[in-house]
Amino acid sequence: MVYDTNPGRTHTSAAIHGELMTDVRARIAQEQAEAAERRRAELADQASSRYTARERVRMWERLHGLTLPRQPSPHLMTIVAKDTALTLEQVTEEQQRRAAARTPVEPKS
């Protein structure tokens, strides 16, 4: 039995399918090219005006594996704004919207 020592790998072992090494290399290169194209498209989408500020910030978070900071962080907020083609004000508004959603509403007496 062949065990894959890299669980993050998207391709299967050549020994399982009996592929030639040149075929395996070509398939892996094709998979990498497709992954790079998907990433390029996703990066373009995060700055697309087709999406709302909320959607763009969520895309940015997913692509970069980070979340918008809860406290103002001018440096990171500027990076998010630049990458998403939003204004710093729009990113700050999204941050504030999230903070308001986390704040429990006290019942009126």
Given a cut of 80, is residue 25 above it in pLDDT?
yes
- Determine the average pLDDT of the residues in 12-41: 82
**6-20, 44-58, 88-102: range with lowest mean pLDDT:** 6-20
What phi and psi values does residue 54 have, to the nearest 5 degrees?
-60, -45
- Per-residue pLDDT at 60: 95
Kindly report, residue by residue over 44-93, the tens digit of the pLDDT: 999 999 999 999 999 999 999 999 988 878 899 999 999 999 999 999 99
Q: Can you tell me the distance from the alpha carbon of 37 to that of 35, in angstroms, rounded to the nearest whole number?
A: 5
Q: Can you tell me the distance from the alpha carbon of 37 to that of 41, in angstroms, rounded to the nearest whole number?
A: 6
| pTM score over 0.75 | no
Of 45, 38, 87, 91, nearest to 67 by C-alpha is: 91
Q: Can you tell me the distance from the alpha carbon of 9 to that of 34, in angstroms, rounded to the nearest whole number?
A: 14
